[in-house]
């Protein structure tokens, strides 16, 4: 461990993140409509151990205690998401006031505790009624999203100053529509590509509406980004690396920053049959809408991607290999890639401001006999990633805040409760919350704005 002292710039914002379906529970309470995640989790065989988010962390009822917990840790900001079907149970039309009131109380509670709310509008729990009309594969869902964004920002826009339209459009498009692992569980690549466009379009359309309702607000979008490296300097590995970067990163970054969908990827998707009707889903004006000015880019970073062409006969031996150091998700621990990612975003795309809206790791370390949770590996993971973020700031990257995923252990999608990302332990039997060592260390980091 280096003894170098790391101090972040004044005003750097320290927070944690969660999402509605992963923590709220209360899936059928106070007029909430069914979401695609309710439906998916209730379908046998979709989630590990048959887990569901029906109760999850019962945050819907325990939010005052969760705010107290955050206050205790000295957190300055909290990123959470709104469950669309609590607000518009059928996706559009009839507003459910009880749903708005829940988030209004939560926002007021956070502000009273001096914790800045960062609201994500879409973290994957689409109203099932909209899925029944085609979901994100249908352009009309992008229109419904604007209506939803309007209702929420009109109601909370006086108090919420930080808005994130979408969480991880790549996951929405591909994990949910091509790989079948997330709701609604489709396996069709062409649909996934169409979906990616409708999600981006809904972002572009919603931003001006949010600005109108919340004139002081900062508005952005969160992407999951993964720096791509080639396993060897061979041409074959570089091709794979370029494809991965296009698929994962550039397909989303390029249109958001006014560069259209990347031509090499359009050609590649066309060759693979993923664009049976070309880019017919892109209509006049769509790309201008998607390139709307945003105040910040949110980055969810977990790991890098090492790209290897396993079949090229004349490939070179790899010079970059995955380390043995992986989390319980199997994701490689490699903090320097966070510096590379932040630098690349700053120098290639120039977002006015960046936030790390998620970073964290899954380790299941639990309480010992004395109730202490020595999650040493998480503490080290966070310290190493904070160090890289600091280095990027020193290099001129306008990074303004950091949200650790997650405030507490929660429902990790298809993995159910088997993966624990929290800095706070949750006993799902008793709903007890117990700060892990990483949380206590984080509290200290926040108090000193460094370590
Ligand atoms: C991200 C999601 C978040 C959580 C983490 C581990 O992709 O945004 O909800 O599941 O991964």
pLDDT tens per residue, range 173-230: 999 999 999 999 999 999 999 999 999 999 999 999 999 999 999 999 999 999 999 9
Which of 80, 75, 220, 202 shows the shortest CA–CA distance to 162?
220
pLDDT at 12: 98
Atom number, ligand 1, closest to the C-alpha of residue 222: 8
Regarding the beta carbon of 171 and ligand 1, being less than 6 Å apart is answered yes
Regarding the beta carbon of 125 and ligand 1, being less than 6 Å apart is answered no
Which of 398, 407, 345, 405 shows the shortest CA–CA distance to 381?
405
Regarding the beta carbon of 78 and ligand 1, being less than 6 Å apart is answered no
Q: Which two tokens stand for residue 367?
A: 């309480």
Mean pLDDT of 298-308: 98
Q: pLDDT tens digits, residue range 71-93? A: 999 999 999 999 999 999 999 99
- Which of the four pLDDT bands, split at 50, 70 and 90, describes residue 414? very high
Tell me how far apart the alpha carbons of residues 405 and 296 are, in angstroms, rounded to a whole number.
Answer: 19
Q: Which two tokens stand for residue 224?
A: 């999951």
CA 421 to ligand 1 centroid distance, Å? 9
pLDDT at 4: 82
User: Alpha carbon of 306 to those of 232, 242, 311, 343, 423: distances in Å?
Assistant: 9, 11, 15, 18, 28
Regarding the beta carbon of 386 and ligand 1, being less than 6 Å apart is answered no
Beta-ladder partners of 297: 221, 354
Tell me how far apart the alpha carbons of residues 67 and 408 are, in angstroms, rounded to a whole number.
Answer: 12
Neighbours of 370 (CB within 10 A): 5
pLDDT at 187: 98
Peptide bond into 132 cis (omega under 30): no
CA 96 to ligand 1 centroid distance, Å? 27
Mean pLDDT of 245-270: 98
Which of 190, 303, 308, 196 shows the shortest CA–CA distance to 254?
196
Q: What percent of the chain has pLDDT over 70?
A: 99
Pairing of strands 424-427, 432-435: antiparallel
- Average pLDDT of the chain to the nearest whole number: 98
Residue whose pair of structure tokens reads 């989790």 in the numeric block? 41
Atom number, ligand 1, closest to the C-alpha of residue 412: 10
Q: pLDDT tens digits, residue range 98-108? A: 999 999 999 99
168 is a catalytic site residue: yes
Tell me how far apart the alpha carbons of residues 235 and 104 are, in angstroms, rounded to a whole number.
Answer: 54
412 is a catalytic site residue: no
Catalytic residue of the set 358, 412, 429, 432? 358
pLDDT at 2: 53
Catalytic residue of the set 34, 168, 332, 412? 168
pLDDT at 199: 99
Q: Which two tokens stand for residue 295?
A: 């105040």
Q: Are 25 and 35 in contact (CB under 8 A)?
A: no
pLDDT at 167: 99
Residue 373 CA neighbour count, 13 Å, CB half: 26
Rounded to the nearest 10°, the torsion over CA 61, 328, 232, 263 is -20
Neighbours of 165 (CB within 10 A): 27
Domains annotated on the chain, with CATH: 13-448 (3.20.20.80)
Atom number, ligand 1, closest to the C-alpha of residue 360: 6
pLDDT beyond 90 at 47: yes
Number of helices (H) and strands (E), helices first, in the chain?
17, 12
């Amino acid at each position: 461990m280096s003894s170098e002292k790391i101090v972040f710039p004044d005003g750097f914002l320290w927070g944690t993140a969660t999402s509605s379906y992963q923590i709220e529970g209360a899936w059928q309470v106070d007029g909430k409509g069914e979401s695609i995640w309710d439906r998916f989790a209730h379908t046998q065989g979709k989630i590990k151990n048959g887990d569901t988010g029906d109760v999850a962390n019962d945050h819907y009822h325990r939010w005052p205690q969760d705010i107290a917990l955050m206050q205790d840790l000295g957190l300055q900001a909290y990123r959470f998401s709104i469950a669309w079907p609590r607000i518009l149970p059928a996706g559009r039309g009839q507003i459910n006031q009880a749903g708005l009131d829940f988030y209004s109380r939560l926002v007021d509670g956070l502000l009273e505790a001096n914790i800045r709310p960062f609201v994500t509008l879409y973290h994957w729990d689409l109203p099932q009624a909209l899925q029944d009309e085609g979901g994100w594969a249908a352009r009309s869902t992008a229109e419904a999203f604007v209506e939803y964004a309007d209702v929420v920002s009109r109601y909370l826009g006086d108090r919420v100053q930080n808005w994130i339209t979408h969480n991880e459009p790549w996951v929405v498009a591909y994990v949910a529509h091509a790989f079948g692992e997330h709701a609604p569980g489709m396996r069709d690549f062409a649909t996934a590509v169409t979906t990616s466009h409708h999600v981006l379009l809904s972002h572009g359309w919603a931003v001006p509406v949010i600005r109108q309702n919340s004139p002081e607000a900062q508005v952005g979008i969160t992407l999951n980004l993964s720096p791509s490296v080639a396993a060897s300097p061979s041409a074959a590995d570089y091709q794979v690396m370029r494809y991965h970067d296009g698929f994962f990163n550039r397909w989303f970054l390029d249109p958001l920053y006014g560069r259209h969908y990347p031509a090499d990827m359009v050609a590649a998707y066309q060759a693979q049959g993923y664009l049976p009707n070309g880019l017919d889903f892109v209509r006049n004006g769509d790309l201008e809408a998607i390139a709307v000015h945003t105040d910040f880019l949110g980055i969810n970073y977990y790991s890098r991607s090492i790209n290897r062409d396993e079949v090229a006969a004349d490939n070179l031996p790899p010079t970059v290999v995955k380390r043995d150091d992986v989390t319980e998700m199997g994701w490689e621990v490699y903090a320097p890639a966070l510096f590379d990612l932040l630098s690349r975003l700053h120098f290639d795309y120039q977002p006015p401001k960046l936030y790390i809206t998620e970073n964290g790791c899954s380790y299941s370390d639990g309480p010992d006999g004395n109730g202490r949770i020595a999650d040493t590996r998480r503490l080290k993971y966070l310290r190493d990633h904070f160090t890289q973020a600091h280095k990027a700031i020193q290099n001129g990257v306008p990074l303004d805040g950091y949200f650790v995923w997650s405030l507490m252990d929660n429902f990790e999608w298809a993995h159910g409760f088997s993966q624990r990302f929290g800095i706070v332990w949750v006993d799902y039997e008793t709903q007890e919350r117990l700060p892990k060592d990483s949380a206590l260390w984080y509290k200290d980091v926040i108090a000193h704005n460094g370590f």
